[in-house]
């Protein structure tokens, strides 16, 4: 299993540009999520999905859109990038159930918005 994969590894954008961060997992996990990591602020939840066709907002959703058309893929879209979105983005996945399950993270995408 490749686990959780993310592309690209690094991206530079200009203010106002749009882009999509890709995330895929091959573990048949129902739950997928996106976090951003900023210095001194830990990992903050942007959006999450409990299954294909179902998404919901996390702690910091503004400026980001998601969709979940398949179990495997969970792309994150920045419609109009802003310097405040400069961060490292991590995708994660896990199984769902009545008890919490181990969450697996991808290697991250470093985004710089100029």
Partner 1 sequence: GENVEQHPSTLSVQEGDSAVIKCTYSDSASNYFPWYKQELGKGPQLIIDIRSNVGEKKDQRIAVTLNKTAKHFSLHITETQPEDSAVYFCAASSTGGGNKLTFGTGTQLKVEL
The yes or no reply on residue 43 touching partner 1 (CB under 8 A) is yes
The yes or no reply on residue 14 touching partner 1 (CB under 8 A) is no
The yes or no reply on residue 58 touching partner 1 (CB under 8 A) is yes
Question: What does the alpha-carbon distance between residue 97 and residue 6 come to, in Å, rounded to a whole number?
Answer: 25
Between the alpha carbon of residue 109 and those of residues 1, 35, 52, 100, the distances in Å are 20, 11, 23, 26
Distance of closest approach, residue 106 Cβ to partner 1, in angstroms: 5
16, 34, 42, 74: residue in contact with partner 1 (rule CB under 8 A): 42
- Pairing assessment for the beta strands 10-13 and 109-113 based on DSSP bridges: parallel
Applying CB under 8 A, the residues found at the interface with partner 1 are 4, 31, 33, 35, 40-45, 48, 50, 58-59, 90, 92, 96, 98-108
């Amino acid at each position: 299993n490749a686990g959780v994969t993310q592309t690209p590894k690094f991206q530079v954008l200009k203010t106002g540009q749009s882009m999509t961060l890709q995330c895929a997992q091959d573990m048949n996990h129902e739950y997928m999520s996106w976090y951003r990591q900023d210095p001194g602020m830990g990992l903050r939840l942007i959006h999450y999905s409990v299954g294909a066709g179902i998404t919901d907002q996390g702690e910091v959703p503004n400026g980001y859109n998601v969709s979940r058309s398949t179990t495997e893929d969970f792309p994150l879209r920045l419609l109009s990038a802003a310097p405040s979105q400069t961060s490292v983005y991590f995708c994660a996945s896990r199984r769902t159930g009545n008890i919490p399950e181990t969450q697996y993270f991808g290697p991250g995408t470093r985004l710089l918005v100029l």
